[in-house]
Amino acid sequence: MTAESTRDREARIADELAIDLLDDEAHAPGGDILLARRLAMLGIAGVMISTAAIGVLHVVEPSRSLDPLSRTISEYELLSNGWIFDWGVVVLALASALILGAMVVREMVPLRSWGSMMTLLWCIGLVGLVVFPKHPGLDPSVAGRVHWTWTLIAFFSLPIGTCLICWRHRTPTGRWPRSAIRLSMMAGGWFAVLTVQTVLSAVTPIQAWRAVGLVERALSLTEMAVMVVLGLWVVHHSESPAVLDPAPDVSG
């Protein structure tokens, strides 16, 4: 075998390896990539709109009169401008569903998986806490208990779902899934603090509820950030695939 034929054979093998090493973006249908990207960007926009809407409630009357340290976010729903809260939460649920849909379309997570189911439960929980509003203070009514149940479901399901989705993607180059996992763990920490506050306020004379509003707001913001990171992960994963450069002529 001559030196020239050896170089030709090596160049052909290199081309074959390069093709094999292209990630799945290069082989996915273009329509799926475009659809996933659009769904993710709409979802990110929805999360940002929801965050802004709930943030506005902290600076306009009459909702600004609520103490953000001790009063829960859900109590905005009971005021005359509570419709802003309702629509903001519904938009967040729809935006989260869009981002999940983008991940399914992009085949980043199967629809029939625990990660998808837990994230979908987050969306359903958000709608549930709007449909069943709470009453001011300690609310022993059926609607109040249902509201609290949906709130718990929403708050704990997203961190679990995100970790299930992202765990197998936590490679050194997987910046977005690793960030989503870190934020989910942070949200889990806030949820644990919220649970401890609730138990202490119920069974001890400690007035832990005085900081429940602050913790709930921190938890909500963290979980909104989780959804934004998941959306950005889809956008990054849906960038136009690189085209292989022609193999250099090594025969001359």
- Domain range for 193: 29-237
Q: Name the stretches of the chain with pLDDT < 50.
A: 13-27, 138, 242-252
Give the pLDDT of residue 143: 64
Cβ proximity of 221 and 48 under 8 Å: no
Domain harbouring 178, CATH code: 1.20.1070
Centre a 10 Å sphere on the Cβ of residue 238 and count the other Cβ atoms it contains.
24
231 is a domain residue: yes
Residue type, position 102, single letter: A
Within 8 A by CB and 6+ apart from 230, the residues are 99, 103, 162, 165, 176, 180
Residue 252 lies in a domain: no
- Supply the pLDDT for residue 63: 87
Note whether residue 15 is domain-resident: no
Give a yes or no: residue 250 inside a domain: no
Q: What is the model's pTM? A: 0.79
Residue 92 lies in a domain: yes
Q: How far is CA 141 from CA 26, 165, 225, in A?
A: 55, 36, 32
Question: Which two tokens mark 186?
Answer: 């942070």
Q: Is residue 80 part of a domain?
A: yes
Instruction: Judge whether 122 lies within some domain.
Output: yes
Number of domains in the chain: 1
pLDDT for residue 104 = 93
Does residue 37 lie within any of the structural domains?
Answer: yes
**pLDDT per residue as tens digits for the range 101-150:** 999 999 899 999 999 999 999 999 999 888 887 765 545 566 667 777 88
Residue located via tokens 């020239």: 4
